[in-house]
Chains A and B, each alone.
Chain A
Amino acid sequence: MSINILRPLFDAGKLWQGNAETTVEVTDTGFPELNGKLSGRGWPAHMLIEILTSDIFSAPMRCAFSTWKTQQDARWIALVNPPLALCTERLMQEGINPKQVDVLNIPTNQFAWSLEQLANAVSTRSVIAWESKTLTSTQLRRLQLACQRGQTQLFLVRNPRNQRQASPAPVRIAIDSLPTSFEIRIFKQPGTNAKSPVVIPLELHWLKTPSPVQRKTSTLRAQSSLH
């Protein structure tokens, strides 16, 4: 088959060759090391990105915050079924405008439908969703298509046991939390092979040297293990 017939699909980023860099629109991850490992040097801006991790609290939010900070526009971002209550003040400290953020708590049976609606909407820029019940391959495929239609970036936080199962998500990463960092393994992405893991240190620069504490604690020992 002549490649010219497939050219529109290549140009639209819907089809790619295994050994070629993709030209899809991306958003800066906020971590230069991670950008270097991703084809296109960032998270694809209009795709479903699977985050497989047992640390549902910290690592996915760090990824989302870092990329949301780097590229802000008039569109909205959404958190779907967050595991705990989001702190608005922290959102503001990260430089993200809370007026452009929605928080949704969705029943399990409506989860896929709601995500598709959000991904389909042109007004939505990015979504991070915590999977409550394992989505089927068809549902994931529909979400990917909705992301392309609505030009939405969707981070789907999933249980790491799903790693062995095939998924239509174009980007799949696994995150392991370490004491002072987290390790990201990109095991599926368009246009390139698997890369070596990236270690991202926890951003705790605001954690200063402890003030003279009244209580006798093992503070200093703990502090030294962090830095």
Chain B
Amino acid sequence: MIYAYLKFPNLLLDAQSITHQDQSIAIHHQGKIIQSSELAITAGVIPGMTINMALTLCPNLLTQTYQPDAERRLLHRLALWAYQYSHQVAIWNKGLCIEVSKSKSLFGDLQALTQILKQTSASQNFKIQLAFGYTPEMAALFVKAGVRPKERAFEKTLYRLAIDAAEIPIEYVKRLKNMGFRTIGDYFGSPSRARQARIHREIYLYFDAIAGRHQTPLTWFTPPPVFNQSIEFLRGLESIEMLKFPINRLTQDASLWLTQRVCATSRLRWEIILENRQEASLDITLNNPVNTASALADPTWLHIEQLQPQSPMTGIRLIIQQIHQTSPQKSDLFIKTQDTDRAQLLDRLTARLGSECLKAPCRLQDPRPEYANQLHDERNVYPLPNIPARPIWLLNPPESLGQSPEKAGHTLLQGPERIESGWWDFKPACRRYWIGLFQKKRVSWIYQDQYSKNWWLAGWFT
């Protein structure tokens, strides 16, 4: 077994969505600094220092309280990201532990896997440090020591490391040094029975673990059955435009989650948390199930653009509950991706204009023209029986022509076509349709209602 240990040097800063690249900022817990930005480190603010000392060294230092929940959420998100490279991912020791012996074969070698992990994490704006080992403890030790040996050199590199590199309490380090152990190799060079007798059991097991002789049980991560992720903002956002980046990040994560499950979704629920403790929710229904980040983000953005929040926004959450199994996309060099293109077009149009804007012309099985020819959401087209010519345009409702079509300017040309129907729905129609000429210019479609004897204009041929 080969494990990769991934450490995130800016985990706490990233977890609290702090822009730390260009400002001196530090996270503190119980009066002590536990993580600081690069600028703060340059000013001398290092973890373990008291806040007072840090502020003395760097008067313009911004400080934030440690939020364990935010850290946990981010680690889950990172575990979801790492899940695409191995099915065995564990959140361990404030980092991620990934079993990579099979991934190694898939990606070529450990070097190639390292490159992929570094590239993808950089694209998500996360800094990582990683190393490989036979056990998670060995890999974590290599990360701490800043070395990344090749597989065949694990043991040799380990034995060369100083005993101070071991992640054990400082008093045990001192005791081991007093015993004459300068390197980890010195430790394993002594008889096992003598070590066991002199060293605390936990420390003994730790050393066995870093040498790959003892396996620590890990709890493997499983992707959650429902996607529910949020991003909180330190300061309330007042403009909808500022949501673009958080939306992109959440849709990228959702896309990853869906891809890992070989699923797609057509329903998204967005919740925008406002400063006045209220929430604005937005349910989006897509025309087709999708799982790509852009297909999730585009309609979302078109919907959210129309929102007018009453107070600044402090967070945004994406929830996906309904998913559909999908088959992998078939790609063909010679076929245009028309289906995908159309689905995306419909999503964009309905997101911006609403579903009411788009209709399909239908032909239903009803002799009455106003019922037979309708615009619907669903496409229902029943075969056309042998009927006389129909006009291009229909007037719905029809326009009254009074008792005489001639007085209204219509000269009868051809007819009549008799339509008598609608006895079943209490809207009976008994009509005689004629083709007429309106003011010697346009060809009309008119009818006489046989009950009232009134004439009506039903449509236009030209």
> Does B bind A?
yes
* Residue contact A84 to B381, C-beta cutoff 8 Å: no
Q: CA separation between A83 and B392, bound complex, in Å?
A: 11
Near A by CB (< 8 A), chain B positions 324-354 give: 336-339, 341-342, 344-345, 348-349, 352-353
Interface 0/1 of B365-381, CB less than 8 Å to A: 00001001111000101
Q: CA separation between A90 and B388, bound complex, in Å?
A: 10
Residues of A within 8 A of B372 (CB): 88-89
Q: CA separation between A42 and B298, bound complex, in Å?
A: 36
Q: Does B402 contact A (CB under 8 A)?
A: no
Interface 0/1 of B154-174, CB less than 8 Å to A: 000000000000000000000
Q: Does A63 contact B (CB under 8 A)?
A: no
* Residue contact B336 to A57, C-beta cutoff 8 Å: no
* Residue contact A206 to B393, C-beta cutoff 8 Å: no
B50-58, B97-105, B215-223, B405-413: which lies at the A interface? B405-413
* Residue contact B361 to A58, C-beta cutoff 8 Å: no
* Residue contact A222 to B341, C-beta cutoff 8 Å: no
Q: CA separation between A98 and B360, bound complex, in Å?
A: 8
* Residue contact A58 to B362, C-beta cutoff 8 Å: no
B185-193, B238-246, B256-264, B437-445: which lies at the A interface? B437-445
* Residue contact B345 to A121, C-beta cutoff 8 Å: yes
* Residue contact A122 to B336, C-beta cutoff 8 Å: yes
Q: How far is the CB of B176 from chain A (nearest CB, A)?
A: 69
* Residue contact A117 to B435, C-beta cutoff 8 Å: no
Near B by CB (< 8 A), chain A positions 59-86 give: 61-62, 65, 74-76, 82-86
* Residue contact A89 to B360, C-beta cutoff 8 Å: no
Number of interface residues of A (CB under 8 A): 58
Q: Does B384 contact A (CB under 8 A)?
A: yes
Near B by CB (< 8 A), chain A positions 142-176 give: none
Residues of B within 8 A of A87 (CB): 369, 373, 390-394, 459
Residues of B within 8 A of A211 (CB): 414-416
* Residue contact B411 to A219, C-beta cutoff 8 Å: yes
* Residue contact A104 to B359, C-beta cutoff 8 Å: yes
Q: CA separation between A91 and B395, bound complex, in Å?
A: 16
* Residue contact B440 to A222, C-beta cutoff 8 Å: yes
Q: Does A218 contact B (CB under 8 A)?
A: yes
Q: Does B307 contact A (CB under 8 A)?
A: no
* Residue contact B437 to A222, C-beta cutoff 8 Å: yes
- Asked, given contacts A117-B348, A121-B345, A123-B341, whether A223 binds B413 with beta carbons under 8 Å apart, the answer is yes
Q: CA separation between A82 and B336, bound complex, in Å?
A: 29
Q: Does B462 contact A (CB under 8 A)?
A: yes
* Residue contact B460 to A84, C-beta cutoff 8 Å: yes
* Residue contact B412 to A90, C-beta cutoff 8 Å: no
* Residue contact A92 to B392, C-beta cutoff 8 Å: no
Which chain A residue lies CB-closest to B439? A179
Residues of A within 8 A of B358 (CB): 102-104
Q: CA separation between A217 and B381, bound complex, in Å?
A: 38
* Residue contact B411 to A222, C-beta cutoff 8 Å: yes
- Asked, given contacts A104-B358, A208-B414, whether A89 binds B384 with beta carbons under 8 Å apart, the answer is yes
Residues of A within 8 A of B369 (CB): 87, 89
Interface 0/1 of B395-432, CB less than 8 Å to A: 11000000000100001111110000000000000000
| Option from B394, B413, B415 in Cβ contact (under 8 Å) with A84 | B394
Interface 0/1 of B125-154, CB less than 8 Å to A: 000000000000000000000000000000
Residues of B within 8 A of A98 (CB): 360-363, 379, 381
Which chain A residue lies CB-closest to B436? A222
Q: How far is the CB of B277 from chain A (nearest CB, A)?
A: 34
| Option from A76, A84, A101, A217 in Cβ contact (under 8 Å) with B361 | A101
Q: How far is the CB of B355 from chain A (nearest CB, A)?
A: 12
Q: CA separation between A45 and B375, bound complex, in Å?
A: 27
Q: Does B389 contact A (CB under 8 A)?
A: yes
* Residue contact B462 to A202, C-beta cutoff 8 Å: yes
| Option from B360, B395, B459 in Cβ contact (under 8 Å) with A101 | B360
Residues of B within 8 A of A103 (CB): 358-361, 375
- Asked, given contacts A85-B396, A177-B441, whether A90 binds B342 with beta carbons under 8 Å apart, the answer is no
* Residue contact A219 to B396, C-beta cutoff 8 Å: no
* Residue contact B363 to A57, C-beta cutoff 8 Å: no
Which chain A residue lies CB-closest to B460? A57
Q: How far is the CB of B305 from chain A (nearest CB, A)?
A: 12
* Residue contact B395 to A89, C-beta cutoff 8 Å: no
| Option from A62, A97, A215, A225 in Cβ contact (under 8 Å) with B412 | A215
Q: CA separation between A43 and B353, bound complex, in Å?
A: 30
Residues of A within 8 A of B396 (CB): 85
Interface 0/1 of B436-462, CB less than 8 Å to A: 010011110000000000000001111
Q: Does B387 contact A (CB under 8 A)?
A: yes
Residues of A within 8 A of B384 (CB): 89, 92-93
* Residue contact B337 to A88, C-beta cutoff 8 Å: no
Residues of A within 8 A of B179 (CB): none
Q: Does A134 contact B (CB under 8 A)?
A: no
* Residue contact A89 to B390, C-beta cutoff 8 Å: yes
* Residue contact A217 to B406, C-beta cutoff 8 Å: yes
Q: Does B197 contact A (CB under 8 A)?
A: no
Q: Does A105 contact B (CB under 8 A)?
A: yes
Q: Which 6 A-B pairs have the closest CB atoms?
A: A123-B342, A84-B393, A58-B462, A88-B361, A90-B390, A121-B345
18 additional A-B residue pairs with CB within 8 Å, beyond A88-B372, A103-B360, A104-B357: A57-B462, A58-B442, A58-B460, A58-B461, A92-B381, A98-B379, A104-B359, A105-B357, A106-B357, A107-B353, A114-B353, A179-B440, A204-B462, A207-B443, A210-B412, A210-B414, A217-B406, A217-B412
What are 5 A-B residue pairs whose CB atoms fall within 8 Å in the complex? Answer: A84-B460, A98-B381, A102-B360, A211-B414, A219-B411
Hey, which bits of chain B sit against chain A, CB under 8 A?
Answer: 336-339, 341-342, 344-345, 348-349, 352-353, 356-363, 369, 372-375, 379, 381, 384, 387-396, 406, 411-416, 435, 437, 440-443, 459-462
Hey, which bits of chain A sit against chain B, CB under 8 A?
Answer: 57-58, 61-62, 65, 74-76, 82-93, 97-99, 101-107, 110, 113-114, 117-118, 121-124, 177, 179, 202, 204, 206-208, 210-211, 213, 215, 217-219, 221-223, 225-226
